[in-house]
Structure 1
């Protein structure tokens, strides 16, 4: 394997880790969408659903970048579980404030992963992945911002 091949493999590995966390964040966001309650129920319920749809939309793009670069991507729930770094939340009762905070932190963690992968894509000369990571970073930062502002007291 040449240095270029190693760089592309590093990008694929980073993208697969991001993909696992993207699926984990999608499911957590849907979980909170289904279980949110309280005085801001409608606003949070709708926002979580919008966020989940945006997150899910990136999964195919991420996986296809891995495949376009000649590598394998995730194959199962077990594969996702083995690669994800974001924590699941299996609690039966989570306050709306805790949901907002947890989702914000998870989105900011994805931003960190995107930035690391962007460096790897630059080293590999993978301009397409580099550009897509900018878009995904902006989306995750916007979600984090909405979650932060929603958590502010009136």
Structure 2
């Protein structure tokens, strides 16, 4: 014998038909909205920082070319590896993600660098500061996910904060000028 659906269930099913990408979640609608907005902002920043890092990777030159080229390649890979988990987390909680380069450019807080030439140490300094901006944004997003008790998003963000702090540290150490003894 089939169960008769109550009015609330029927209403919920009708609303889902109107929003086919609204993945079911136990988070409140306000939580989905707030967390999705914070994660989309992060996604835009990570894409912007990824492209800037790869830009500098492709255009670095000078006596430390190999070391800087490899460092920036590794950091670019790490940033790119963040993008899919961020976007998929947004979708898992019922949100929608960025859809275009234009969307990214409207949301990003990391500035582009379109200069024809940037000194290698200036590249490292700029990326170091950008990673510090990203770390602060990650902490802001963490506050939002904590507020809404989204443990899974908070956990991911905690790992990304650690990775971002590591990138910042490596960029700082790589840009230090040695004394006459090489230290």
TM-score (norm 2): 0.81
Q: Secondary structure at the match of 2:124?
A: helix
1:101 correspondence with 2:129: no
Q: Residue 75 of structure 1: SS of its match in structure 2? A: coil
Q: Which residue of 2 aligns with 1:85?
A: 109
Where does structure 1 differ by over 3 angstroms across 4 or more consecutive aligned residues?
A: none
Q: Is the 8 A contact 1:33 1:49 kept in 2?
A: yes
Alignment match, 2:171: 147
The separation in 2 between residues aligned to 1:138 and 1:88, in whole angstroms, is 24
What's the Cα RMSD here?
1.0
Q: Once the 2 structures are TM-superposed, how far is the Cα of residue 45 of structure 1 from its aligned partner?
A: 0.3
Aligned equivalent of 1:60: 84
Equivalent-residue separation in structure 2 for 1:91 and 1:39 (angstroms): 20
Q: Distance in 2 between matches of 1:33 and 1:77?
A: 20
Residue-pair matches, total: 152
Q: How far is the alpha carbon of 1:8 from its aligned partner?
A: 2.6
Structure 1 unmatched ranges of 5 or more: none
Deviation at 1:48? Answer: 0.2
The answer for unaligned runs of 5 or more in structure 2 is 1-26, 179-183
Determine which of 63, 68, 75 is the counterpart of 1:44. 68
How many Å separate the matches in 2 of 1:109 and 1:4? 29
Secondary structure at the aligned position of 2:28 is classed as helix
Alpha-carbon displacement from aligned partner over 1:35-90 (angstroms, at most 9, x marks no partner): 00111110000000000000000000000110001011000111111110110000
Larger Rg: 2
Q: Secondary structure at the match of 1:20?
A: helix
1:134 maps onto 2:173 in alignment: no
* Residue pairs, 1:102-121, within 5 angstroms: 102-121=126-145
Bigger fraction of residues in helix: 1
Which whole-Å CA distance do the structure 2 matches of 1:4 and 1:68 have between them?
Answer: 13
